A and B are shown apart, each in its own frame.
Chain A
Amino acid sequence: MTASRRSPRDYPAESRALVDSPVRDAVTAATLSFDGHRRRAWREVDVEAWRDWAEGVKRHALTHLADLLEEAEARLVERGATVHWAESAEDARRIVREIARGRVERAVKGKSMLSEELGVNAALEDEGIQVLETDLGEFVIQLLDEPPSHIVGPAIHRDLEEIQGLFAERFGTPPDASPEALATCARDHLRGAFLTAELGVTGGNFLVAETGSVVLVENEGNIRLTTSRPGIHVALVGIEKVLPRWSDVAGFVQLTTRTATGQPVANYVSLLQGPRRSEPDGPEEIHVVLVDNGRTGILADPVMWEALRCVRCGACLNVCPVYRQTGGHPYGFAYSGPIGAVLAPAFLGLDEAKELPYASTLCGACGDVCPVRIPLPELLLEWRRRAVAQGLAPAAESAGIRSYAALAKRPGWFALAARALGIVPGLRSSRSLPVVGSWVRERGPLEPSRPSFRPPEDAPDEVQASDARAPDGSRLRDASEGGTSP
């Protein structure tokens, strides 16, 4: 997997390449569809009350995280699960390898963004274990050896035609196979693996402290199968996924599914509550790996800790006008879109990820749809403030902004500069000057308005209504002066 060579530093170049590709249309269609479903599903409930409640529960959970994690561990152990604590990605990979070593030839996986973040697949493959992704979207990107492009739909950047071509090449399906035929082909391919794999790996949507339950939601049934047949199960759960009470589950599952795909509830909701006892199915061993990998560091950040409320619904990606032009690959990180742009600097450091907070127009659409009210636009802006304060913004950019501020505070100089822009030949239409060139190449020459909206320099500070001019130079008249036209 090429995942480890990706970096947010490549966002400008990668995004430039993708805006002219089929990815743009495929991602736009998929995200508009998801968002349309979310809108309908949100209208059916008192969603603002749900969001307030969910935000409150998560704030409480994060504020009491250590206690809740210990409670979760105690309940899990009581039920017969083995709990592991992974401080780093390397720890997590080592833990999973040690669980599997010598006993596993084949592993089946439910979709887990955390496993992508940690690089778990590669770790298992290094042990000579065959890893099969069983979620259809993950199955597709595994065949393509690509990272996921979206948090919920990993393969939305590929359109039907591309997937038809892929399956025809790998499995001999007809080139015009329907989506149902493609799904059936994948199903047939995977069914044997479910029955013979020694290890099942999933993530965890939520971990309930009160009962030690790992909650998993899905639509395809692959998680049901992954957690039923293999004798060993590993659930990778980020520590921020903890919910305090059993009674929190219903609300969070419904809010997450309504927001992610517009479904009142996912097709399957599975609860891992320990290894099988007298049941005919279920793993004999359950391992829950509680993963930190930088989360406690984020928790300690008085501003960024709010991003840990994320339930990985993907709604912010679905409304982001920037994300939909390229899909997730240019972000160079497991998580993309607005939440990815906020988490990447938190996980990777601002120097490595500084391009991402600027991969936004701060339009605010993401903050409007977050089910747990993460103030994403404010967090993006805060990363920018920190980048400037730490001297990470490009020197030319900072100098340019300081120059602009110097002009803007001095009306005489500003007027001079504005006039220069209008007079100096080539300044407004240059395709090669910095800043102006970037504008002109995509949008044509800058055209100043005539007459200017600015009052003349010798105008008194207080402009009387009778002095004001209309765009055509005519005087504005008060209604009291009579007449209806200037």
Chain B
Amino acid sequence: MAARWRRVLAGDDRPVVLPSGSCAAMARHGIPRLLGAEEEEVAGRNEGEAEAAAPVYELAEYLVEVLGVEVEGGGASASAAGREPLVGGLEGVRVAYHHGCHALRELGVREAPLRLLRAAGATLVEWTAAEECCGFGGLFAVKLPHVSAAMADRKLDALAASGPVDVLTSADGGCLMQLGGRASRRPSGPTPRVVHLATLLWEARGKA
């Protein structure tokens, strides 16, 4: 799969933007490492990572750090690129952001999604377990489903304890499947709407 990635993108230096922290981490670090290891085996070269191809970004990271969309008035780069600034649309909406592990720890993306939500006027809810793993972990979710569910329960309990929340959002589809799915199985209490950051911001843009 890594080889296919390299083949498909060969010669294309446009940035690759992924609406998924785990996919972006894989594309930025995992794939070069796999390809580098493979090359090392084949050619005996001592390369840690293969030569990087096009730059890879997670979506929020790209919107904030490259396009500068969240700054009031758009920022020079946003206007110059002919893009509209992200302003308002989520006023009065209480949003809890879940920091997926790959985006947070492997890509160092922590502020960008929060800045986008603030620019959209959302009320960001502080909650104690915001940066803890949701328990998805890919294969882990089906290899150790009970521990995985317990991890999701911990997040959802912490969220419920933080006060009223309208929307739970994140930059990772796997995390959202995990938390949203588990929320639908829990016996009690109102649950927030669980939606991807891109969808939430798109809706905000529609209402602005």
Listed in ascending order, the chain A residues whose CB lies under 8 Å from chain B are 12, 15-16, 19, 24, 28, 321-322, 324-326, 358-365, 368, 397, 405, 408-409, 435, 438-439, 441-444, 446, 470-472, 478-480, 484-486
Measured CB to CB, the nearest residue on chain B to A483 is: B84
Name the A residues within 8 Å of B142 (CB-CB): 435, 438-439
Given contacts A321-B151, A442-B148, contact A363 B133 (CB under 8 A): yes
Cβ of A325 and Cβ of B105 under 8 Å apart? no
Given contacts A19-B146, A364-B106, contact A325 B4 (CB under 8 A): no
Name the B residues within 8 Å of A486 (CB-CB): 206
Name the B residues within 8 Å of A478 (CB-CB): 82
Whole-angstrom distance between the Cβ of B48 and the nearest chain A Cβ: 12
Cβ of B101 and Cβ of A363 under 8 Å apart? yes
Measured CB to CB, the nearest residue on chain A to B203 is: A471
Whole-angstrom distance between the Cβ of A340 and the nearest chain B Cβ: 15
Measured CB to CB, the nearest residue on chain A to B148 is: A442
Pairs A–B under 8 Å by Cβ, sample size 18: A19-B150, A28-B154, A321-B133, A358-B143, A359-B147, A361-B135, A361-B151, A363-B105, A363-B133, A365-B105, A365-B132, A435-B142, A438-B143, A441-B145, A470-B202, A479-B82, A484-B84, A486-B206
Of A28, A397, A443, A479, the residue contacting B177 (CB under 8 A) is: A443
Cβ of A321 and Cβ of B135 under 8 Å apart? yes
Of A322, A408, A442, the residue contacting B145 (CB under 8 A) is: A442
Cβ of A442 and Cβ of B182 under 8 Å apart? yes
Given contacts A361-B137, A361-B140, contact A322 B105 (CB under 8 A): no
Whole-angstrom distance between the Cβ of B184 and the nearest chain A Cβ: 5
A408 CA to B4 CA in the complex, in Å? 10
Whole-angstrom distance between the Cβ of B9 and the nearest chain A Cβ: 12
Listed in ascending order, the chain B residues whose CB lies under 8 Å from chain A are 1, 4, 82-84, 101, 105-106, 132-133, 135-152, 154, 177-178, 181-182, 184-185, 199, 202-203, 206, 208
Cβ of B151 and Cβ of A325 under 8 Å apart? yes
Cβ of B101 and Cβ of A364 under 8 Å apart? yes
* Number of A-B residue pairs with CB-CB distance less than 8 Å in the complex they form: 111
Name the A residues within 8 Å of B4 (CB-CB): 409
A12 CA to B202 CA in the complex, in Å? 41
Whole-angstrom distance between the Cβ of A370 and the nearest chain B Cβ: 13
Cβ of B206 and Cβ of A325 under 8 Å apart? no
Given contacts A321-B135, A442-B148, A484-B208, contact A361 B83 (CB under 8 A): no
Cβ of B137 and Cβ of A362 under 8 Å apart? yes
Of A24, A325, A442, A472, the residue contacting B185 (CB under 8 A) is: A442
Measured CB to CB, the nearest residue on chain A to B141 is: A439
Measured CB to CB, the nearest residue on chain B to A443 is: B181
A69 CA to B20 CA in the complex, in Å? 49
A435 CA to B101 CA in the complex, in Å? 23
Cβ of B101 and Cβ of A361 under 8 Å apart? yes
Name the A residues within 8 Å of B135 (CB-CB): 321, 361
Q: A16-B146, A443-B177, A470-B206 are in contact. List 10 more A-B contacts (CB 8 A).
A: A19-B149, A321-B154, A358-B144, A361-B136, A439-B141, A442-B148, A443-B149, A443-B184, A470-B202, A485-B208
Name the A residues within 8 Å of B154 (CB-CB): 28, 321, 324-325
Given contacts A361-B101, A439-B141, contact A326 B147 (CB under 8 A): yes
Name the B residues within 8 Å of A324 (CB-CB): 154
Whole-angstrom distance between the Cβ of A319 and the nearest chain B Cβ: 9
Cβ of B137 and Cβ of A363 under 8 Å apart? yes
A384 CA to B144 CA in the complex, in Å? 15
Whole-angstrom distance between the Cβ of A59 and the nearest chain B Cβ: 18
A470 CA to B204 CA in the complex, in Å? 12
Cβ of A15 and Cβ of B146 under 8 Å apart? yes
Measured CB to CB, the nearest residue on chain B to A405 is: B1
Name the A residues within 8 Å of B137 (CB-CB): 360-363
Cβ of B202 and Cβ of A361 under 8 Å apart? no
Cβ of A444 and Cβ of B202 under 8 Å apart? no
Of B1, B136, B147, B203, the residue contacting A15 (CB under 8 A) is: B147
Measured CB to CB, the nearest residue on chain A to B87 is: A484
Cβ of A443 and Cβ of B182 under 8 Å apart? yes
Cβ of A322 and Cβ of B208 under 8 Å apart? no
Whole-angstrom distance between the Cβ of B126 and the nearest chain A Cβ: 16
